[in-house]
Amino acid sequence: MTALAPDLPVHPIVNGMWQVSGAHGGIDPGMAVASMAEYVDAGFTTWDLADHYGPAEDFVGEFRRRRAKERGAMALAGLQFFTKWVPRPGPMPRALVEQAVAISRRRMDMPVLDLLQFHWWDYDDGRYLDALRHLADLRGAGQIRHLGLTNFDTPHLREIVEAGIPIVSNQVQFSLIDRRPEVAMAPYCQQRGIGLLAYGTVCGGLLSDRYLDQAEPRGSALGTASLRKYKQMVDAWGGWELFQELLRALREVADRHQASIASVAIRWVLDRPAVAGAILGVRLGVSDNRLDNARALALRLDAEDGRRLESVFGRSHDLFRIIGDCGDEYR
């Protein structure tokens, strides 16, 4: 376990719940909650979700009630549930912020939110600072334990920190394909003691043995929102032919360690400076990647592994120059 704060541990592999939002196919609620128990019993204790991820907050609430009923309230100790608030830009009166936090607390059955991660769509509307100041007040009132951000770039993260808002984390896209956080975000976060929660670590499953030596997927072959999103990133990074070279390099590294391509991709991100955890999507009750995730924790990459991967990186495009800093693709 690492920690975003002395009282906020985080498992290196964070269970991501975007996959229950509806954009990845149907999810059976009963099977989903039962699957959550299996993840926790296997040691994967940290969850990432959002107010707009369909029933994700409701699943957490039901899971917590069931677990407390079946095993006692102490069975909830040591579990972490990180949600997000993603409001439409506009006026941010305190009452609106309080209402949003109250809804998440009720849905998740949590008197105090472990981590509230804030996202804002439009930097030109500076009222994100109003919202964050109200959230900081609610943190002081004991309704939120800690505050984080989602997809903020380095200049705006710096602005928020310098405004006195206590930020412990920023959630950003970070993978072997998208290395933009290494340019400015990670150095700043290291300097300020802010942890990065990395998503897109296996590019929706593209960074896996399943796609090694496969023809370029198109159209209906990209059957989930994640695959469609990260295929666009692969295209911008260098295209399918170069991506296959990366997969072959990863397979060589994986063979040296008796691991999978996905495990190597996860371990590489976990080894990056300032990264506190890698968010891996879970399709609760549908598929299970816990074994690969667990193998990544035991894996240790060395300098030879790094040189093999760098031989491919050197021929890829500079996504920081093409897209911009972390989160700029959303604005």
Average pLDDT over residues 309-327: 97
- CA gap 11, 75 in Å, rounded: 17
Chain-wide mean pLDDT for the chain? 95
Of the listed ranges 52-61, 94-103, 215-224, 236-245, the least confidently predicted one is: 215-224
Is 2-330 a domain of CATH 3.40.605.10? no
Residue 287 reports pLDDT greater than 80: no
Q: What pLDDT is stored for residue 19 in this prediction?
A: 84
Average pLDDT over residues 86-101: 98
Average pLDDT over residues 64-84: 97
Q: Are 320 and 284 contacting, i.e. CB atoms less than 8 angstroms apart? A: no
Q: What pLDDT is stored for residue 289 in this prediction?
A: 78
Of the listed ranges 87-96, 217-226, 269-278, the least confidently predicted one is: 217-226
Q: What is the 3-state secondary structure (H, E, C) of the chain?
A: CEEEECCEEECCEEEECHHHCCECECCCHHHHHHHHHHHHHCCCCEEECCCCCCCHHHHHHHHHHHHHHHHCHHHHCCCEEEEEECCCCCCCCHHHHHHHHHHHHHHHCCCCEEEEEECCCCCCCCCHHHHHHHHHHHHHCCCEEEEEEECCCHHHHHHHHHCCCCEEEEEEECCCCCCHHHCCHHHHHHHHCCEEEEECCCHHHCCCHHHCCCCCCCHHHCCCHHHHHHHHHHHHHCCHHHHHHHHHHHHHHHHHHCCCHHHHHHHHHHCCCCEEEEEEECCCCCCCCHHHHHHHHHCCCCHHHHHHHHHHHCCCCCHHHHCCCCCHHHC
Higher pLDDT, 20 or 112: 112
Average pLDDT over residues 179-195: 98
Task: Name, in order, each residue with C-beta under 8 angstroms of 55's C-beta and a sequence gap of 6 or more.
Answer: 20, 27, 29
Q: Are 267 and 295 contacting, i.e. CB atoms less than 8 angstroms apart? A: no
Average pLDDT over residues 138-162: 98
Higher pLDDT, 294 or 26: 294
Residue 23 reports pLDDT greater than 80: no
Residue 89 reports pLDDT greater than 90: yes
Average pLDDT over residues 33-38: 93
User: For the chain, what are the domain ranges?
Assistant: 2-330
